[in-house]
Structure 1
Amino acid sequence: MSSNAGYTLADGTRLEDLVSVPTREVQMRALSDPEIYQLEMDRVFGRTWLLLGHESEIPASGDFIVRDMGSDSVIVARAKDGAIHVSLNVCPHRGMRISTVDAGNTQIHKCIYHGWAFRPNGEFIGAPVEKECMHGRMMPKEELGLPQARVALYGGIIFATWDIEGPSFDEFLGDAKWYFDTLFERSDNGLEVLGPPQRFIVRANWKAAGEQSAADGYHTLTLHRWLGEVGNYSKSGDGGSADLSPEMYGVEVSSPHGHALRCIDLGRKIKKLTGLDPAELSVEQKLEALPPPGVTREMLPQLMKRLSKEQLEVVVSMPPQVGGIFPNVLFAFVYIPQADGTVLGLTLLHAYVPKGPDQLEFVNWVLAEKDAPAELKEKMLMQSIQLFGTSGMVEQDDSDTWPHMTLAAKGARGRRSTLKYQAVYETGAPKGWPGPGIVNEGFTKDDTQWHWWLYWNELMNART
């Protein structure tokens, strides 16, 4: 991507100076500046692939949901041929939003202002009083349809981009796709949503949440310390200490495109469940002892068939459990201890949708394998909401920090402070690690988040 060096903000600051590559610092004003926010809508959200939902939200012909791509509202609709289309939710006649509801089913999307009508694929049908040709004769009907985003389905997840000639979705994921496939492409019938996503507003800049989603493990020690103290999460049974630092060791995978994965050792969990040394167990025995989150033992043959030997090695030893897809997606495929000593796996996606320089919409999808039994889905849904939902124990912590960061970034002095990413890995990948990417092992560091900011910086300074 070529550089557009030289863009200067209104106060004289060069855009490229917001990120100091030699010292791994980012100016705090990036979390509050309206001018930077407007540039992001074109240069980040106008160029990257964005998560909009899951195809199971719109299973039937005519089904639609309304979502946002940056600051643009879009209609995500299923046409009669089953194809999914993403159309700009702006009537080309007078600029009215065509759909003013969150979801529904229709074969005709009709603007409430003057009645212009469109098909689920965005094609213009016509305007009322056809004989008067109220759309005019200056432009053919074919040119009056709704602008279309480019669409990709990945494991049933709907992504879209306005960059029609840009990288494919697979190219965008790059090496990280090898790991994401172990989460989203592991079963024959795939994932589905357990109801519509939860959505709530947080008064914070979207990047405060976005950069944390890039596998920030370190904050868990302090912000989520209750995970080592409360109920089923208490470490008291493991020697009386609530110290979570042992959980901070693992493997972290960075991406030149800002994606990140935090891979956490399953050895302790498998040993606790089986009483056996994981090193002495086969891949099949480890899968039987602790199936991946959301997967039942009956589904394990599907994993064995769909994933490579190398991917299965990672799944049973150091699987990706949390991380992000640039720019604003967090995934959580986590193991939750239960009161009876068993483990429940949860599978979730979050998106942090920008709603202005100091406001984001938090969108939470709870997922489950379509083949999972109903009672398992219900249990996953309840515990996902309790932990990661609108009022979830984890998200109450996270959503408290982001507004404070955003407010601090507005201060006359605070905006000149910097975010620092100076805890650097010096290890590289563990010996024999089978996966690609920028891989490091050991205690969690800042590298994954720093690569998130590097790609943000690259996009912001790219030639328009």
Structure 2
Amino acid sequence: MLTNSSPVLSDGTKISELIYPETREVQMRVLSDPEIYELEMEKIFGRTWVMLGHESEIPEPNDFIVRDMGSDSVIVARDKNGEIHVTLNVCPHRGMRVALTDCGNATIHKCIYHGWAFRPNGDFIGSPVKRECMHGTILEESELGLKKARSVSYGGLIFATWNIDGPSFDEFLGDAKWYYDMLFLRSDKGMEVLGPPQRFIVNANWKTAGEQSAADGFHTLTLHRWLGEVGNYSKKGPAEEESDEPDLTPEMYGVEVSSPHGHALRCIDLARKIRRLTGLEPDDLTVQQKLDALPPAGMTKDMVAQLSNNLTEDQLKVLTSMPPQVGGMFPNILFGFVYIPQPDGSVVGSMTMHTYIPRGPNKLEFCNWIFAEKDAPEELREKMLKQTIQLFGTSGMVEQDDSDTWPHMTLSAKGAMGRHMTLKYQAVYETGKPEGWPGPGIVNEGFTKDDTQWHWWLYWNELMNAE
């Protein structure tokens, strides 16, 4: 359990005074204040597990990528034995960045300033002119390596933390892992990236995107309303044969999973999609029949047999009824495993993940990975890549909507009056989990509410006030 010791800002305000648990409000000042941002780099990005990339980005020995853990640049490298290491991209001699390119292959990482050299695991090799011992003798050579983070690979995703003695990655995920496993650990060979991630800068505080990623379902109905009006994405009302009016409301119903650690998932009913594809009633179909009718997003019918090798019967029941399709991992991850309708009535899955990397109180870097299963057919991979870019890429139709709102929120939070306004999370579930729901966690069913995002803020508050 974290010990509370609320930091005090320069004007005397305690961080704990910026969030109102009784009315579920957050003061908008948190979206722009430079002091709060600096505390977040230490207390959140310096203490939690942060996603940096995917193993398939560094497939060969000595491959590396350069990524960020909050405001710190890090080197993510695979050594000659295939193990992955995450080290601070700061030379311990005079503070120069060691790796100056985004990616590459190097048996030795050498600082250009004074030539100190390091192995892919961060260990110090030496400095030039060995006989002169220009690194001195005051410290042992074992103390002169790059600072090492604690890292883990989960379904090929690379996570790291500076909190060396803190909770394990599994403890950090908690009950949410049961649901994430259905996405990231479902197949025999796992996923791989379809090229390097897309990246662009948004003039907004990272939390504007982070809190939306905590399964904010309702904004789909309003901000993305065109999904119910345009082309293949158009939806009709519940009585489809009687109404030509587009309606996304049915997509707002389902199951939502919250976490004390701010993770969130939206599990959306597949019944309507299965009815459209088969003309049959889903309740009359077995789990296998539903999988054959509509394989999980990103899989083909031929790949469905792998699911039983990796998932439990209870997970398969959820995967064929109310699968997790959209959600996030605290603090700055959004993922989407969604079904994209095609003109011929079929469905193509999309597998994508965003991180929102802090670049200052008023700036974030949007980083977008697109995935496919390693054994997915080439034709499917091409369709997934094209359609995911069109929807969720840096110029995607959905992301154009989202990335337009975040700068406005950040600007509002800088106003003399606006900074004292509040973000409100007052639409509260009163339902609980569906009868017979097999999964763990804080589970509610019905029309999407604010609970998942509120739990995101509660964990933010816990970390910001912890010693």
Please classify the TM superposition score into its range, dividing by the shorter chain length. Answer: over 0.9
Shift of 1:5: 3.1
Q: Which residue of 2 aligns with 1:299?
A: 303
TM-score w.r.t. length of structure 1? 0.99
Counterparts of 1:133 and 1:159 in 2: how far apart (Å)?
A: 36
Q: Structure 1 vs Structure 2: percent identity of aligned residues?
A: 74
User: Which residue type is aligned with residue 303 of structure 2?
Assistant: M
- Between the aligned partners of 2:182 and 2:341, the Cα distance in structure 1 is 22
Q: Which residue of 2 aligns with 1:377?
A: 381
Q: Secondary structure at the match of 1:462?
A: coil
| Other-structure match for 2:190 | 190
Q: Shift of residue 443 of structure 1?
A: 0.3
> What amino acid sits opposite 2:143 in the alignment?
E
Q: Is the 1:173–1:257 Cα contact (8 Å) retained in structure 2?
A: yes
SS in 2 for 1:29: helix
Query: How far apart are 1:12 and its partner, in Å?
Result: 1.1
Q: CA deviation at 1:129?
A: 1.0
2:402 paired with 1:398: yes
Give the aligned CA root-mean-square deviation in angstroms.
Answer: 0.8
Residue 409 (structure 1) aligned with residue 413 (structure 2) = yes
Q: Could you tell me which residue of structure 1 aligns to residue 294 of structure 2?
A: 290
Q: Is the 2:109–2:118 Cα contact (8 Å) retained in structure 1?
A: yes
Aligned counterparts of 2:152 and 2:96: Cα–Cα separation in 1: 27
Partner of 1:34: 34
Aligned-partner Cα distance in 2 for 1:307–1:243: 34
SS in 2 for 1:317: coil
Gaps of 5+ in 2: none
What is the alpha-carbon distance in structure 1 between the residues aligned to residue 123 and residue 8 of structure 2? 40
CA distance in 2, matches of 1:328, 1:454: 15
Map residues 189-268 of structure 1 onto 2, 5 A cutoff. Answer: 189-235=189-235, 238=240, 239-268=243-272
Match for 1:174: what amino acid?
G
Given that 2:6 and 2:464 are in contact with CA atoms closer than 8 Å, whether structure 1 keeps it comes out as no
Which of 316, 319, 341 is the equivalent residue of 1:315? Answer: 319
Deviations 1:206-226 (A, max 9, x none): 000000000000001110000
- Work out whether 1:269 is the aligned partner of 2:273: yes
- Taking the aligned partners of 2:155 and 2:464, their CA distance within structure 1 comes to 29
Query: CA distance change for structure 1 residues 2 and 305 in 2, over 3 Å: closer, same or farther?
Result: closer
CA distance in 2, matches of 1:40, 1:7: 11
Task: Tell me the residue number matched to 1:133.
Answer: 133
Q: Aligned AA for 2:343?
A: A
1:344 aligns with 2:348: yes
CA displacement 1:206-253 (0-9 Å, x = unmatched): 000000000000001110000000010112593211221111000000
Q: Aligned partners of 1:298 and 1:91: how far apart in 2?
A: 49
Report SS of the residue matched to 1:178: helix
Moved more, 238-247 or 42-51: 238-247
How far did residue 429 of structure 1 move? 0.3
Which residue in the other structure is 2:51 paired with? 51
**C-alpha distance in 2, partners of 1:37/1:233?**
38
Contact preservation (8 Å) 1:429, 1:440: yes
| Closer/same/farther in 2, CA of residues 454 and 6 from structure 1, 3 Å limit | closer
Distance in structure 2 (CA, Å) of the matches to 1:368 and 1:94: 42
Q: Give the Cα separation in 1 of the matches to 2:211 and 2:244.
A: 33
State the alpha-carbon separation in 1 of the partners of residues 79 and 245 from structure 2: 56
- Structure 2 partner of 1:107: 107
Unpaired runs of 5+ residues, structure 1, are none
Provide, for residues 63-92 of structure 1, a one-character-per-residue CA deviation record: whole Å limited to 9, x for no partner: 000000000000000001110000000001
Query: Residue 449 in 1 paired to residue 453 in 2?
Result: yes
1:352-399 Cα deviation digits (max 9, x unpaired)? 000000100000000000010111111101111110001000000000
> When the two structures are aligned, how many residues end up with a matched partner?
463
Q: Which amino acid aligns with 2:70?
A: G
Q: What is the SS of the residue equivalent to 2:48? A: coil
Tell me if structure 2 keeps the 8 A contact 1:5–1:16: no
State the Cα deviation string for residues 94-119 of structure 1 (Å, max 9, x = none).
10000111000000101111111110
Q: 1:6: how far off?
A: 4.2
Question: Quick one: which amino acid aligns to residue 217 of structure 2?
Answer: G
Give the distance between the partners of 1:45 and 1:14, measured in 2 at CA.
20
- CA distance in 2 between counterparts of 1:52 and 1:441 reads 32
Amino acid at match of 1:240: D
- Which residue pairs with 1:14 in the alignment? 14
3-state DSSP class of the match of 1:146? coil
SS of corresponding position for 1:51: strand
TM-score, normalised to structure 2's length?
Answer: 0.98
Q: Distance in 2 between matches of 1:31 and 1:382?
A: 34
Q: Which residue of 2 aligns with 1:280?
A: 284
